[in-house]
Structure 1
């Protein structure tokens, strides 16, 4: 990785693994205004009003486990109207870190080897411990990203234009002029 490829996380709370100790650590983190604005830009949000987490960090034989509760209040764009869609996230999560974590290249090679788009039937691989440190803030941000609704839709959003012969959910069936309706009738006859 070159210097130009190194990205500084918007919400970084890095801790040294050596400072965790046998009893572990309890950590509370909360994104400030500028961190929330930067994250809103990163995830193309209209707003990020809150992002906080209460975390328990413990050493394990395999590395480090971070377990905690994250709370976030975000506003996304509706995929239909582009209007605001508020979203509240309150979620418990567990993230593992290890010195022996597979690199992205190793994960991609395993996926390609299996002929898949992603790994199946495996636990989430641990994140790497880099230079004896883990970033609690970025761990929270990654969980937040996974939990965001990928297709936010306002409750009253409706598609503005309907094309003839296309159904949405369980609306009207295909009309007779639709070529697929004609194929369906031919198939029924055979």
Structure 2
């Protein structure tokens, strides 16, 4: 299929030549619809107030993007299974290049920059990626602790063997 593209729920693609001239700040503020689509993609109940704030420095061929991604997310507690809200704040530092990207053993020795694709960087995708990295993979509602069940010696994995051994005595 020609022309088939994956559409990302949050996209803010900006031309690098405009960024390099501006050498400024870029802000991505997700709409309620974009937050709902990202929450569905991430498998969490909700995301709101998602904002990525970025500063750009460098040349047309090599850009450094720094900043933060912040949001309020609703996740499900792994202990109580209750939904709860938690803030996410993830620092961003990414290098982009229009030049050759090292591969093989060279890539292991250096920080590999992300490619500039078709002369553009998508700050929406960058925002979503860093939000995903900031999510707690094992969310626990504040104040909730896990208390394991007390082991009953009669229910132990080898309790049946003890019964058999008792018959032989």
**Where in structure 1 do 4 or more consecutive aligned residues deviate above 6 Å?**
none
Preserved CA contact (<8 Å) 2:79 2:145: yes
CA distance in 1, matches of 2:76, 2:100: 35
Instruction: State how far apart, in whole Å, the 1-side matches of 2:61 and 2:93 are.
Output: 14
Q: Once the two structures are superposed, what CA deviation does each residue of 1:127-170 show, in whole Å capped at 9, x if it has no partner? A: 221111110111111111111101001232435x63638xxxxx
CA contact (8 A) 1:40 1:46 kept: yes
Q: Does 1:158 align with 2:146?
A: yes
3-state SS of 2:10 partner: coil
Indicate which of 105, 109, 118 corresponds to 1:131: 118
Q: Give 1:23-172 correspondences, 5 Å limit.
A: 23-60=22-59, 63-100=62-99, 102=101, 110=104, 123=111, 125-154=112-141, 155-158=143-146, 162=149, 164=151
Q: Indicate the SS of the match to 2:14.
A: strand
Larger radius of gyration: 2
Superposition CA RMSD, Å:
3.2
Measure, in 1, the Cα distance between the counterparts of 2:18 and 2:136.
Answer: 36
The unaligned stretches of length 5 or more in structure 1 are 114-118, 166-173, 180-190
The farther-off stretch of 71-80 and 93-102 is 93-102
Length-normalised TM-score, structure 2: 0.75
Count of aligned pairs between the two proteins: 155
Query: Tell me, what secondary structure is at the counterpart of 1:50?
Result: strand
Distance 2:32 2:89 in 1: 20
